[in-house]
Structure 1
Amino acid sequence: MLPIIYWLATTAPTASGTALNPPVAKTDPKTDTVHGEARVDDYFWLREKSNPEVIEYLEAENRHTEAMMQHTEDFQEQLYQELLGRIKETDLSVPEKMGDYYYYTRTEEGKQYPIYCRKKGSLEAEEEILLDQNALAEGHEYLEMGVYKISPNHQLLAYSTDTTGGESYTLYVKDLNTGQLLSDQIPNTYYSVEWANDNRTLFYTTLDAAKRPYKLHRHQLGSDPAADVLIYHETDESFFLDVSKTRSQAYLLMELENINTSEVHYLEADQPTGDFKVISPRQSELEYSVEHHDDQFLIVTNSDAVNFKLMRASVNNPSRANWEEVIPHRETVKLDSVSAFQNHLVISEREDGLQKIRVRNLTTNEEHTVDFLEPVYTVRQGRNPEFNANTLRFNYGSLVTPMSVFDYEMDARTRELKKQDEVLGGYDPSLYESERIFAKAADGTAIPISLVYKKGLVKDGESPLLLYGYGSYGINSDPYFSSNRLSLLDRGFIYAIGHIRGGEEMGRIWYENGKLLQKRNTFTDFIACAEHLIAEKYTASDKLVIQGGSAGGLLMGAVTNMRPELFEIVIAKVPFVDVVNTMLDASIPLTVIEYDEWGNPNEKEFYNYIKSYSPYDNIETKEYPHILVTAGLNDPRVHYWEPAKWTAKLRALKRGDNRLLLKTEMGAGHGGPSGRYDYLREIAFEYAFIFDLLGVEK
């Protein structure tokens, strides 16, 4: 048998010098029979994370990537300094008032992570450092914060950390009066924890073997976590469990949901030892979320409303039979959420692909919409922790406008800019232009594309263009500002976002038409966007770069198999590419819950459909574009072996001399490096890969 990898001793000339030939992974066929069909997987063995040969293969790929990119190291450093030079390294977030305190984070030059602080009474008061993430990260290559929750009396802090990227967090409690950690330490927690109003009781979730939050526990400070009360055990493997608190601070909510069904239970936050009560028992494909105001629950639901509507019910009897309509369903407007303040209701919705914020005065019932003037933009509500406030904080940005924090006075209808992210080095937004155009999909559907470029663009097909896409889970790819992107735009690039089906940019039906047995719409939409950009002479195939990550990496793999000649360079970050094999294995995190996204391949119809587009299953002996693939060894969402297997099979079958590089973070997870400087170096690496191949001058 051949060793796991071998290196040819010769060197192969390249346009930029010489480099070792790539590692070749051994084949060790594993055969399974599915629906009467024999499936042979030559690289199944790469799943054996504890096998030293697997680690050696990944490290060999990393060495090859380093060798192939060695000639760009000076350029990478230049790009890193360029990216770093635009950010304000020592900076401060806009303080957020909670009770008598102002909470904020700040960063210091040379430090990777934020410092969490507060001041009491006024912004002129003495600073109190609550948590320094840099200190927590000492001795660790990776450190990510999970939760950060201040107790109602502001004397305690519950926070959690992960040091591997595996997204299993250890929960700690800190006494903010003494600065000391309490003895309470709880491992294997996830992204939700909530304080009861007694300041002594914590509710938290824990993970099963498939990294699914499936149990809700109640913990009394000072007690042994092993004796914590189990409040709920979710036995349906397709459901996740979450705990939250209403903005009124009156109720704790236990939320159980899968991709298309939800169930919410409530408990008075003043009665932590009481029993949670269900609002409406789960019913397949019925979704709802809950907010609280006064003596009513406000319920956003898709009950007979594909784009969702708003209902209300008494807190004394909130069962579905008692729901009353507040905002009706609208065919052209998607209701995303509502936020209740004491005197106002803030309504977040989406129309024609653009986000809207509507404000309703709960005393007069008068309504108005907050105006945003740019043609393409992104707006997000802030946390707004003060229930009694008449001011709404929101974050606004666009492809040309840096992220800006506004305080909006809901009665006076006036806004105050509290902060706009500084772009150092003299950024002038008037030198750039953004627009929205539409491509026609194969079935005639108009697909929005957001674009940004430097003014003076000549549409002659000579401009390099980076087209980004995602298109899954109903997640929207809203246009936002990135100072990093200026390194593209200032070198003549166009940046484009394809708002393809599978997201919800154009309403809920946009998502429904890009999932399950209509998933191929996502891929053909993206191809239509690329073809339109070429036809309109924004770019040409030999200058077209495409990028996507996770489920967007599935998009990259699928369209590269379908139309490899259409793209010059592909950046596939932690790509979900082994769809059939992953969805056949219920032990893998996210598999069961995602049957409602991709389909269950144990059913033949879904098996055949998924197999028709799964990137790993459709690699052919042909030429492929230049491809850069990234992976995280500890990634619990897209396991490292998916990009590794995809790369190995591509190496074996692809023809031609186009580059194929795999770069695996050996101490990180799905999001890559946790530190902000490390993140910038990753961006510099990707840009150097692109610029080098396109011959872009430094």
Structure 2
Amino acid sequence: MKSLSLATLTSAFCIMASNAQSLKYPVAPSDNTVDTYFGVSVPDPYRPLENDTAAATAAWVEAENAVTRAYLDKIPFRDDIHKRLTALFDYHKHGLPWKKNGWYYFYENDGLRNQAVLYRTRSLDKAPEVFLDPNTLSDDGTVALTGVFFSHDGRHAAYTISRSGSDWTEIYVMDTDTKQLLPDHIEWAKFTGADWQGDGFYYSAYPAPEKGKEFSNANENHRIYFHRLGTPQSDDILVYEEPDQPLKFFSASVPDDESVIFVSGSGQGLGNTLMVRSLADKDAQWKVMSPTQDYEVAVLDVIDGTIYIYTNYGAPRYRLMTATLDNPAMDQWKELIPEQKGVLTGVDFTGPDRMILTYNTDASNHAYVYTLEGRRIREIQLPSIGSVGFSASRKHPEVFYAFTSFAYPSALYRYDVDKNESTLYRGSDIKGFNPDDYVTEQVFYPSADGTEIPMFLTYKKGLRRDGSNPVYLYGYGGFNISLNPSFSAQRILWLENGGIYAQANLRGGGEYGEEWHLAGTKLNKLNVFNDFIAAAEYMIDRGWTNPGLLAIEGGSNGGLLVGAT
């Protein structure tokens, strides 16, 4: 695709804007519904649209799609965009390898496959074999692989799938030696993985839905079951439930030594409850580790009877704590690594006596090597400002990490913990794209109340700040989610045609811990909108762009953000 000039783009967008003003949208189903909250009447005229199976709703969706399709088909350069995007997406995407039972496993997409293929090999310098190709799970591509969970001995792998984008989960089991499916098949599970103990695994599920309402029933009474291989699902054992808390949902986890089972409960607070029970004694009772959903509490591992816990209990930016299996209650926990300036976002154990801790500082990652006793040894030097993820295990000393940033597709590195050396293992090459042609900078701008908000700007080198640059401003601001540097092939099309990609780290996210999150929730929600508006004003006031060339977008919770601003 030839680069589209700004004049061509502006002319085309003017034509499109004119066409948009003449669009005639279908009338949505509505009624006179009014709800009263604390004496305040709140109209909800589009309540009928909540009935997603109604004929009127289906007809309205079909009519909306027809309007959209007719508009998109008239975009004069749409085919050129499609061709260039296809070329940008057509590159090898490598996943981090991990080791299990003598095999290295890793995901890889050789270009435009809908889903990455799971490969394995005995040695990373030898050609791998396909272990599981999710693209073959359905003829029409509507079945998505959502997770693969290996037994602790590596003999079996349970994998979870979703059909047609549904939240409902099915579980299948493979023999890893033969790669053959076993007859075990779990249906109507949801929000679950598969955590193994011996010859079976734990999973989470709701009661099977009423026929005809599989996708509209309310989710209530989540439970944890144990499935033993070779038995029907009807024989699965109910392990945990809280009938008096129908809106909570639960997940189970079992450490490698299979000594205990942990159950986390969440859904009605900012964090989760946590229970633990011995697996050595069939009559053992549940012990409460965390009784409230006020804090996030995650068990990382159990080593020689010590529980390693990642939590924001008493630490809005998170810390690492320990507990004993004999006395695991929260008031008996001990601090191993205290809260730091950055937000602790990841802990990976490597070899018998090392940990790698990842911190988020000003919305980008830094990584450090620690001892199991909590002593910091050194910082791992990453390639530049960006985001990192590690693959490591206590069972062997090999460490891999993936690094990415706005102009750099994910690259894999080997890291030698003893030598403190990183070497490139696998990179990514996109035809017609050179990362060195672009620059990313971080700026800080004041919001309405004076709070300094960080924002990343990515653009082509040599760009002039003359107020004539189109800007794509993205924000989210919610649910404690951080917007860190990441690569997107579709953004490259925007950048190579002279656009600026701006990503604002609004309050409501997790960039600076729980305090930053709470500063954008409930009665503080207005801060999120003000932060986003201030980002746009900053781009205009500093000469990056003008109001006519600035677009805003936000996905999911970000849709509320865009609608409000």
Bin the TM-score by the shorter chain.
Answer: 0.7 to 0.9
Bigger shift: residues 476-485 or 84-93: 84-93
Letter in 2 for 1:297: I
The aligned residue for residue 614 of structure 1 is none
2-side partners of 1:13 and 1:84: how far apart? 23
Q: Is the 8 A contact 1:173 1:181 kept in 2?
A: yes
Q: Is the 8 A contact 1:265 1:276 kept in 2?
A: no
Sort the Cα spacing of 1:500 and 1:197 in 2 relative to 1 into closer, same or farther, 3 A. same
Letter in 1 for 2:307: F
Sort the Cα spacing of 1:534 and 1:212 in 2 relative to 1 into closer, same or farther, 3 A. farther
Matches of residues 582-597 of structure 1 in structure 2 within 5 Å?
A: none
- Which of 494, 502, 510 matches 2:508? 502
Percent of aligned pairs with the same amino acid: 27
Q: Is the 8 A contact 1:253 1:264 kept in 2?
A: yes
The aligned residue for residue 218 of structure 2 is 210
Q: Secondary structure at the match of 2:355?
A: strand
Deviations 1:238-284 (A, max 9, x none): 53312234467765432223442322233567x59675743514135
The aligned residue for residue 334 of structure 1 is 343
Q: Is the 8 A contact 1:205 1:213 kept in 2?
A: no
2-side partners of 1:381 and 1:391: how far apart? 11
Query: Which runs of no fewer than 5 residues in structure 1 stay unpaired?
Result: 1-11, 560-698
- In the comparison of the two structures, how many residue pairs are matched? 538
Sort the Cα spacing of 1:430 and 1:276 in 2 relative to 1 into closer, same or farther, 3 A. farther
Instruction: Please say if 1:253 is aligned against 2:256.
Output: no
Q: Is the 8 A contact 1:465 1:545 kept in 2?
A: yes
The aligned residue for residue 428 of structure 2 is 421
Deviations 1:300-359 (A, max 9, x none): 3333322232222223322223222212234x3323343333210222223333322121
2-side partners of 1:381 and 1:513: how far apart? 30
Higher strand share: 2
Q: Secondary structure at the match of 2:81?
A: helix
Matches of residues 13-52 of structure 1 in structure 2 within 5 Å?
A: 15=18, 21-52=24-55
2-side partners of 1:367 and 1:424: how far apart? 40
- Which of 398, 409, 432 matches 1:391? 398
Deviations 1:368-425 (A, max 9, x none): 1112353x4112223x3x3222233222111222211122112211112111222222
2-side partners of 1:201 and 1:14: how far apart? 59
Sort the Cα spacing of 1:307 and 1:53 in 2 relative to 1 into closer, same or farther, 3 A. same
The aligned residue for residue 145 of structure 2 is 145
Q: Give the TM-score taking structure 2 as reference length.
A: 0.88
Bigger shift: residues 250-259 or 50-59: 250-259
The aligned residue for residue 131 of structure 1 is 132
Instruction: Please say if 1:233 is aligned against 2:241.
Output: yes
Q: Is the 8 A contact 2:317 2:512 kept in 1?
A: no
2-side partners of 1:276 and 1:389: how far apart? 34
Query: Which runs of no fewer than 5 residues in structure 2 stay unpaired?
Result: 1-14, 208-216
Q: Is the 8 A contact 2:148 2:159 kept in 1?
A: yes
Deviations 1:562-584 (A, max 9, x none): xxxxxxxxxxxxxxxxxxxxxxx
Q: Is the 8 A contact 1:255 1:264 kept in 2?
A: yes
Q: Secondary structure at the match of 1:71?
A: coil
1-side partners of 2:154 and 2:66: how far apart? 50
Question: 1:16, CA displacement in angstroms?
Answer: 5.8
Q: Secondary structure at the match of 2:422?
A: strand
Matches of residues 365-376 of structure 1 in structure 2 within 5 Å?
A: 365=375, 367-372=377-382, 374=384, 376=385
Q: Is the 8 A contact 1:152 1:195 kept in 2?
A: no
The aligned residue for residue 349 of structure 1 is 359
Sort the Cα spacing of 1:294 and 1:76 in 2 relative to 1 into closer, same or farther, 3 A. farther
Q: Give the TM-score taking structure 1 as reference length.
A: 0.72
Letter in 1 for 2:494: L
- Which of 66, 70, 95 matches 2:69? 66
Question: 1:506, CA displacement in angstroms?
Answer: 2.3
Sort the Cα spacing of 1:14 and 1:307 in 2 relative to 1 into closer, same or farther, 3 A. closer
- Which of 319, 325, 328 matches 1:309? 319
1-side partners of 2:125 and 2:383: how far apart? 35
Deviations 1:436-462 (A, max 9, x none): 111111111000010100011211110
Q: Is the 8 A contact 1:334 1:508 kept in 2?
A: no
2-side partners of 1:411 and 1:554: how far apart? 48
2-side partners of 1:319 and 1:13: how far apart? 62
Matches of residues 661-676 of structure 1 in structure 2 within 5 Å?
A: none
Greater relative contact order (Cα 8 A, min sep 6): structure 1 or 2?
Answer: 1
Q: Secondary structure at the match of 1:256?
A: strand
The aligned residue for residue 123 of structure 2 is 122
1-side partners of 2:314 and 2:373: how far apart? 29
Q: Secondary structure at the match of 1:81?
A: helix
- Which of 463, 466, 471 matches 1:465? 471
